[in-house]
Amino acid sequence: MKPSNSENTAAPEDRPIDPESFDRTLAQYIPDSARAIAVAVSGGADSMALALLTADWCQASGRHMVTATVDHKLRPESTAEAQLVADWMAALGIRHRCLTWHEGTDAADSPASLETAARVARYRMLTEWCVEEGIDYLLLAHHADDQIETFWMRLARGSGLNGLAAMRPVSRRNGIALVRPLLDFAKARLVATCRARKQRWIEDSSNADPRNTRTRFRQAQALLTAEGLSRERLLATIAHMGRAQDAIGVHVEALHRAACIWNAFGVATLDANRLKSAPREVALRVLADILTAAAGAEYGPRFEALAAALDALSSAETCTRTLHGCVMSRAGGAMTIFREAGRLTASATFSHQGKANWDGRFRVVCSGFSESDLPARFSVEPLTNDIWIALKRDQLAQDLSTLPAAVRQTLPVVRDAAGIAAIPHAGFTRSDLTRQGLEFGVEWIGRKREPLAEYETVPETS
């Protein structure tokens, strides 16, 4: 852990970010209705600058701000670094939470998958924290230099247009909007912002570790610039890709809305003939979009498997396939896509806000609670066939009796020590709980994500 020396003098071209520029950028992505904002703060200059700028913006606009740091346990000093960030936030008067990835100690022994595992865990923990806080917007400190590195990494993986458009200013995970307001600002300006505010930051030694893919591309940037691939040209190329992506996205979203109907159980019914007659690129993206949402997944299926599935479903009047944790079934002109029961999340717990995100598809909400033991008292689990037999015996949840068993088994139920507490999709809450003023409801969050899934399975940057 090496806290920086904030007394260093910045180069003349490294101007701090002025509040007006930041405020104009952030106002594009945060609606007036959002009165609370969460910020992910690792302690580096990027996230510390973001925290400082956001704190000013929240104070000026009358909003509430909270921050969180993920102690990833990948390096011996990570816990001390997380505590240092907590101290800095306290000095600024900002409420802070440390989220510990206890599995990081074991993951550090698997360097081949370390970057991906850490990234997935970080996003999962941060979005779950946002759900617990009841906050819908999480700010991330990715900047222009990150954007360029992401472009190179995805190009090396053979990404198509989706991947080469790099990071978008807003995306969604776990029902939470991830906002990146610094993508137009170079890292040097973030460092300058911290120095101007006399704010120290942490220099992460792993940023110089050549074992990390991102580090190697960062180190190669000087050579690429000498060959004419300057930062400005690369950012212009990424912007061109983004505009092309948006243009195709209009057609993808139009076909999705025209040809697909979603029901309250997370089942998509798709017009197979309209999908078949659409341009292949558009059809592939729509199918990937639907599969991603139906599975509650973060990423879309691999391109080769997706293309094979589209061909099979387009050529046969009757066809059933599984892909990406979903069942796809065509009968004549209608195609249904729903979650595969055998791939479900085992269980989920409630936050102190009375919310539980389950399987990436549903958010179960408890209203009327006042006790503080809600997380320990209730859990959310799949509606298995054994549970359904018991419900039928007790003549409960009749509203679900017309659903196909394969769909019914993908729905959540709430359990407590006494048994089945609620079946949210059936509007059922056990009578002793309703007498306590408790009610359980459910909303589907699977479609509340970016409408264009990255079907090449290219993970987002860390």
Domains of the chain are 2-142+180-229 (3.40.50.620), 248-342 (1.20.59.20), 345-444 (no CATH)
DSSP state of 50: H
**In whole angstroms, what is the distance from residue 175 CA to residue 444 CA?**
9
Write the secondary structure of 321-373 as one string of H (helix), E (strand) and C (coil).
Answer: EEECCEEEEEECCEEEEEECHHHCCCCEECCCCCEEEECCCEEEEEECCCCCC
**pLDDT confidence of residue 200:** 96
**pLDDT confidence of residue 107:** 53
**pLDDT confidence of residue 451:** 37
**pLDDT confidence of residue 72:** 86
Angle (CA) 68-69-72 rounded to 5° is 145
**pLDDT confidence of residue 423:** 92
**pLDDT confidence of residue 130:** 92
Helix axes 213-226, 144-156, angle to 10 degrees: 100
pLDDT in tens, 386-402: 888 887 776 666 678 88
Pairing of strands 326-331, 318-323: antiparallel
**pLDDT confidence of residue 411:** 94
Distances from the Cα of 29 to the Cα of 46, 169, 182, 426, 460, angstroms:
19, 8, 12, 36, 19
**In whole angstroms, what is the distance from residue 277 CA to residue 214 CA?**
40
Mean pLDDT rounded to a whole number for the chain? 84
Residues 6+ positions from 419 with CB-CB distance below 8 Å: none
Q: Where are the alpha helices (DSSP H) in 142-197?
A: 144-156, 161-164, 187-196
Half-sphere exposure of 307 (CA within 13 A, CB side): 7
Whole-model pTM above 0.85? no
Q: For the chain, which residues score pLDDT lower than 50?
A: 5-12, 112, 448-462
pLDDT in tens, 21-51: 999 999 999 999 999 999 999 999 999 999 9
**pLDDT confidence of residue 112:** 47
**pLDDT confidence of residue 311:** 95
Give the pair of three-digit tokens for residue 342. Answer: 């055998």
**In whole angstroms, what is the distance from residue 125 CA to residue 127 CA?**
6
**pLDDT confidence of residue 462:** 31
